[in-house]
Structure 1
Amino acid sequence: MKVKFAVVALALSGLLFACNKDGYKKSDSGLLYKIYTDNKGEKIKEGDFVKVNLIYKTDSDSVLLNTYKMGRPYELIIQKSMFKGDMMDAFKMLCKDDSASFKILADSIFSPKFGMQKMPPFIKAGSYLTFVIKIVDVKTKVAMDAEATKAVDKFVTDSKLAFNKTASGLRYLVTTPAAAGTPVKLGDTVKVHYTGKLLDGTKFDSSEGRAPFELPVQKGVVIDGWVEALQLLKKGEKATVVIPAKLAYGEMGNGPIPPNSPLVFDLEIVDVKPATAAPVSAAK
């Protein structure tokens, strides 16, 4: 499952084509910008995870998005600039706690180049959209990985349970062994009952009250942590697994799962259907 960026995310990749107006300066890359708070910290870099409060409005000051009213900042990973002067360049001018505004030509935001929908009728061609932003937090990928690892270590220590640890950092504990059960192998089809939780115990999904989840054990079907965890188990076994964020939904999260979240799953292997062996070619 992949997270889709909202309209705002696509807008943040738009080009700016205008000359200075309303006191805005123009950068070497063509950005129209106005810095309100300029701190001396390390500037944002490609690959950094950023939390930003954002007000997104039209030339007539009609507000299209306000994260302050939503009660939570917008979250994104800084990508490689698609074009000279796009908003990824804008973020790289700032650091934590900085605030600024940027003007973007509406025509560029709703350009087919970005796979965007047709420009809404309430936005005029040739007008500008303004993004007023406040950088709430900035974390490098290394820092985020270290933070997530520390959280998993604390969870395991606090549980006082003898979790096993794999080379990838996944933790697992078989709570109901089944010595004679069929081992799960890559390519097998399994039926699984599961409950998924965050480290703080918040449940985000479960098969409770439903038929078990049936799936092939292969990459791309489920998160990598599941592919690894299932192969550690046998039919009839129950286990608790703690999956590092990098083997789950990573820096972007997914729906109710926040970015950079390790996940805890209680799993029960209900059935295992071995993969069908490829037919042997007839001798010529």
Structure 2
Amino acid sequence: MNKSIFWVMLVGVVGLLSACSSGLEDTSQRYIENENKVIQYGKANNLTLTKEANSGTYYAVTTPNTSGRSPKETELVKVFYTYRKLDGTLLDSTTSVPLGFPYYTYNTILNIPVALLKEGEKGVFIFPETSQYTEPTILSIELISTRNETEQIGEFVQSKFAGLNVNSTSTGLQYVITKSNSTGELVKTGQTVTVTYTGKLLFPTKKRDSNGFYVYNEQFDAGSFSFVLGQGSTVAGFEESVSKLKVGDKGNFVFPSSLGYSKTGSLDNSTGAYTIPPYSPLNFEIEVTAVK
């Protein structure tokens, strides 16, 4: 069983370690009562539930696809889901846009169903308790797809660069020049280069807008800045991309996470959410406006 199963901090695993004796008894009794609620829910809804031994999660695969592909660690998985309490109270859900995230790269309750589903399958997963809720919660989920980085980039290039002259380098960078200035000055290592850019993931991520509402958006950054080319002040993929341009040129570039933020990603410490998830290929639209 995938070790991500251990990541759900059920009270029976984590909470008991710090509880006092009477607290242990209270927590244990509550957990037993919650399990009984889960079992009764399954019976009432004609669900044949299986208990996953390590996490204590009860689940049923409601739409099987035995020939489907199983996700591998770090692959981008896309899911639709609804998360609620047993009484139907909605806690979280996707909209018409699936949620994409790199499987088993950080702690999320979604790792549990992904570990137990194949591509194209749907399932119901019931947690007697989690670190956030001391009552049962239920996750209805569909695993739409799973793609490694090579596949993600290949599908992106095929879709976004269709019919265009695509250039490739030995590092894995792929790009098209969308605006060319034949008289522009070549960009050279050691020069201070000024660029405008837009940075995007290859898939939309769930985030809150300025009004606090959830939206799905690929873009993680945009703006302009100056830097000395060749001094490592930006990620390697960005520097290599800029080196392919002249002043006045504009290009669309895509590169693997090995040239970007690799296994660490980029974390927004103020929100605790990833601006760029680990193992994410990146797409940049870049225009060089000046060099000196």
Q: TM-score, normalised by structure 1?
A: 0.60
Matched with 2:120 is 97
- Inter-CA distance 100–206: structure 2 relative to 1 (3 Å threshold): closer
CA contact (8 A) 1:13 1:87 kept: no
Are positions 1:190 and 2:193 aligned together? yes
The structure 1 residue matched to 2:254, chosen from 227, 240, 244, is 244
Matched with 1:66 is 93
- Inter-CA distance 14–221: structure 2 relative to 1 (3 Å threshold): farther
- Inter-CA distance 39–165: structure 2 relative to 1 (3 Å threshold): closer
- Inter-CA distance 216–51: structure 2 relative to 1 (3 Å threshold): same
Letter in 2 for 1:92: A
Matched with 2:50 is 25
Q: TM-score, normalised by structure 2?
A: 0.59
CA distance in structure 2 between the partners assigned to 1:172 and 1:178 by the alignment: 19
Q: How far did residue 213 of structure 1 move?
A: 2.4
Matched with 1:119 is none
The structure 2 residue matched to 1:135, chosen from 137, 143, 168, is 143
CA contact (8 A) 1:170 1:225 kept: no
CA contact (8 A) 2:84 2:139 kept: yes
Q: CA RMSD in A?
A: 4.5
Letter in 2 for 1:138: T
Q: How far did residue 94 of structure 1 move?
A: 0.8
SS class of match (1:225): helix
- Inter-CA distance 245–71: structure 2 relative to 1 (3 Å threshold): farther
Matched with 1:48 is 75
CA distance in structure 1 between the partners assigned to 2:103 and 2:201 by the alignment: 25
CA contact (8 A) 1:80 1:88 kept: no
CA contact (8 A) 2:58 2:127 kept: no
Matched with 2:175 is 171
Q: How does 1:1-284 map to 2 (within 5 A)?
A: 13-16=7-10, 17=12, 20=35, 21-22=38-39, 23=42, 24-35=49-60, 36-40=62-66, 41-67=68-94, 70-79=95-104, 88-106=111-129, 108-110=130-132, 126-151=134-159, 154-155=161-162, 158-159=163-164, 165-167=168-170, 168-171=172-175, 173=177, 175-178=180-183, 181=185, 183-185=187-189, 188-194=191-197, 212-217=224-229, 222-233=234-245, 237-246=247-256, 247=259, 263=283, 265-272=285-292
Q: How far did residue 56 of structure 1 move?
A: 1.1
CA distance in structure 1 between the partners assigned to 2:139 and 2:231 by the alignment: 39
- Inter-CA distance 88–49: structure 2 relative to 1 (3 Å threshold): same
- Inter-CA distance 267–91: structure 2 relative to 1 (3 Å threshold): same
| Gapped regions of structure 1 (runs ≥ 5) | 1-9, 111-122, 273-284
SS class of match (2:138): strand
Q: How far did residue 206 of structure 1 move?
A: 6.2
Kindly, what percent of the aligned residue pairs are identical? Answer: 18
What do residues 246-272 of structure 1 show as CA deviations (whole Å, max 9, x unaligned)? 25689999979xx97774625123133
How many positions carry a matched residue from both structures? 227
Letter in 1 for 2:174: L
SS class of match (1:109): coil
Letter in 2 for 1:175: S
More strand, by proportion? 2
| Gapped regions of structure 2 (runs ≥ 5) | 13-30, 43-48, 203-217, 267-273
Q: How far did residue 49 of structure 1 move?
A: 1.9
CA contact (8 A) 1:193 1:270 kept: no
CA distance in structure 2 between the partners assigned to 1:197 and 1:104 by the alignment: 35
Letter in 2 for 1:29: N
Q: How far did residue 26 of structure 1 move?
A: 1.0
